[in-house]
Amino acid sequence: MALPLAVADTSVLIHLHHLGLLEYLSHLYSGVLVPSPVRTEFLRRDKNGARELALNVLTTRGLFTRCDDYDSNEVDLLRTLKMKGAEAEALSQLKKQNADVLLIDEKIGRSVAERERRSVKGTIGILASFSRLEFVEYFPAVERLRKELSFRISDEVVREALEKTGEGFGG
């Protein structure tokens, strides 16, 4: 079975990069489309050039692909729903590129995509999948995001994401 094609929003990329897990997306997705505003946001606070290096390496390897052909009218409409530019363009690209899943954490973007019957996966869901594949220890990774990046997520959502991967809750 072929792996799905994803479109990424910024927060997921930042979180996975922080944990050193971006390259593992290749085990879940055939490719990750990265719109221009997402690339810009991702590189915004790149103090030591590590994010730029990761973006370039993963683009060269073919996992990440730039996608900049979006529907400007749709992006404008999505922005009226209080979606940020990067989120709105990522959702527009999902439709335009006929991609399978939107990688996004923000509530508004997730709810709009789900209303349109689009598949959505956030950082926590990806970490749960990585845990199932034994690439990361789930709970320590979540705690690192909470402590080091002030990542806000309820314990209930953390448990639910792990349960959805088929592992159940183990502490």
Angle in degrees, 0-180, between the axes of helices 50-60 and 36-44, rounded to the nearest 10: 150
Q: Give CA 27 to chain center in angstroms.
A: 14
pLDDT tens digits, residue range 53-70?
A: 999 999 999 999 998 876
pTM over 0.85: yes
pLDDT of residue 166: 64
pLDDT tens digits, residue range 104-133?
A: 998 888 888 888 899 999 999 999 999 999
Q: List the domain boundaries for the chain.
A: 5-12+29-121, 125-164
Q: Which CATH superfamily is domain 5-12+29-121 in?
A: 5'-nuclease (3.40.50.1010)
Q: Which of 69, 87, 85 has its CA nearest to residue 13?
A: 87
pLDDT of residue 88: 82
Pairwise CA distance, residues 86 & 39, whole Å: 9
